[in-house]
Amino acid sequence: MSILDEFLFPFCVTAHSFNHDKSQVALCPNSNEVQIYGRSGTQWTLLHVLKEHDLLVTSIDWARRTNRIVTCSQDKNAYVWTLDPVANTWNPTLVHLRVNRAATQAKWSPLENKFAVASGDKCVAVCYFGEDNDWWVSKHIKKPIASTVLCVDWHPNNVLLACGSTDMKARVFSAYIKGVDEKPAPSAWGERLPFSTLCGEFESPSCGWVHSVAFSPDGESVAFASHDSSVTVATPSTGEVLSVRSHYLPFIALTWAGPQTIVACGHDCSPMVFSKGGAEWRLSKKLGEDDKSRRSATASPSNNNSAFNLFRQMDSRNQPTKSAASSSDGSLRSVHQNTITELHRDPSGNAAEISTSGLDGRLVLWAVQA
């Protein structure tokens, strides 16, 4: 039983982030607002609406310890929201990103004193709080990024930053900020790393935009999913770059669920688990398709489907296809019925639990068994 919980919202969920104990979730309903829902039993109730961006909110990240939310949007801005406990409202603080194109993803660093914003301006903005000016300041990593940066991920040491870009490469940079960071211990990625040093550059076998990048839990390897339907894992200490070419449509989100396990999901609507057996990575499992006894989502749309299909079957020309991917009522066998947009690890630190959100409005919590 790999599904822990499944929720259905009446809109496409393009970004999501849970708070530290999963009692609240911040979602973007494919618009310029961020909605925060609180859990009451099996239902979610709308608690707050954060309305400050002008265009689509592309990414939300909820820092679990400091309880701040960073959101970034196609309107070239990012805001840091802090909760005012007395008035019970979230107050935005504008971040001076200084980018001229849309921001694509924002992530807090492990210590939550910095965050990185990837943007279409061929740069990554690393932001930290400047005490003297009392606002968030950004420093840009520009060279040698040649095109839009789609994704970022922090190394556990709070200094190294991996980013994937539409110039087909995944790179690891140092985002060391003097005054905010301690000097990091030397690692396989290098030592004495001033800001913006390139520590590694990787490519997948058939090239392709890098949609998602993630460091392994120990920081020794970086995995990335690119548009050529492959997942590549690079380990600088051994010098190996291993790729798995998948049979499915490209993945747009991936994360590590253990030292030898990667979960990736995307256009094929199911999370796929890859595990390392010996010297290579292989697809070991597709989550969610073999669960015969799964509870249907609260507020499930299956009623609509059955009426639609009743009339469709009355049309004698209709020949239901016997494809493996769809069941007889026309819906997909996988849990998500449309592209999965984001995949996140459990904020309380449980490595084997992940959450996914999709364009079908579903928010699903999974338990990953390798």
Partner 1 sequence: MAHRKLAIDGFDEEQQQIAQQMQILSTKSDHEVASLVDQKASVVRAAITRGNSVEALEKALSEPPYGHGLEAAQSANALLVAEVLMATRTQEVNNVVTGLSEDCRDVLLKYIYHGLAHPADFNCGVLLSWHERVVEAGGLGSIVRVMADRKTI
Quick one: CA dihedral 295, 299, 300, 304, positive or negative?
positive
Which part of the chain contacts partner 1 (CB under 8 A), choosing from 58-66, 108-116, 131-139, 220-228?
220-228
When the beta carbons of 175 and 265 are compared against partner 1, the nearer one is: 265
When the beta carbons of 188 and 283 are compared against partner 1, the nearer one is: 283
Count of residues in contact with partner 1, rule CB under 8 A: 17
Quick one: CA dihedral 6, 9, 10, 14, positive or negative?
negative
Least distance between partner 1 and beta carbon 335 (Å): 19
195 binds partner 1 (CB under 8 A): no
246 binds partner 1 (CB under 8 A): yes
HEC secondary structure over 163-228: EEECCCEEEEEECCCECCECCCCCECCECCCCCCCEEEEEECCCCCCEEEEEECCCCCCEEEEECC
By the 10 Å C-beta count (0-12 exposed, 13-18 middle, 19+ buried), 54 is classed as exposed
- Pick from 229, 126, 210: which is nearest to 170 by CA? 210
User: Which of residues 245, 282, 294, 295 is near partner 1 by CB under 8 A?
Assistant: 245
When the beta carbons of 71 and 270 are compared against partner 1, the nearer one is: 270
End-to-end CA distance of the chain: 12
Encoded one letter per residue, x for contact with partner 1 by CB under 8 A and - for no contact, window 36-65 reads: ------------------------------
143 binds partner 1 (CB under 8 A): no
Which part of the chain contacts partner 1 (CB under 8 A), choosing from 95-103, 112-120, 206-214, 304-312?
206-214
166 binds partner 1 (CB under 8 A): no
Q: Strand pairing of 169-174 and 160-165?
A: antiparallel
Least distance between partner 1 and beta carbon 167 (Å): 9
When the beta carbons of 205 and 320 are compared against partner 1, the nearer one is: 205
User: Which of residues 4, 49, 249, 310 is near partner 1 by CB under 8 A?
Assistant: 249
206 binds partner 1 (CB under 8 A): yes
Distance CA 279, CA 177 (A): 37
Alpha-carbon separation of residue 235 from 15, 190, 199, 206 (angstroms): 29, 13, 12, 19
Of the CA atoms within 13 Å of residue 118, those in its CB half-sphere come to 30
Using CB under 8 A, list all residues that contact partner 1. Answer: 146, 168, 206-208, 226-230, 245-250, 268
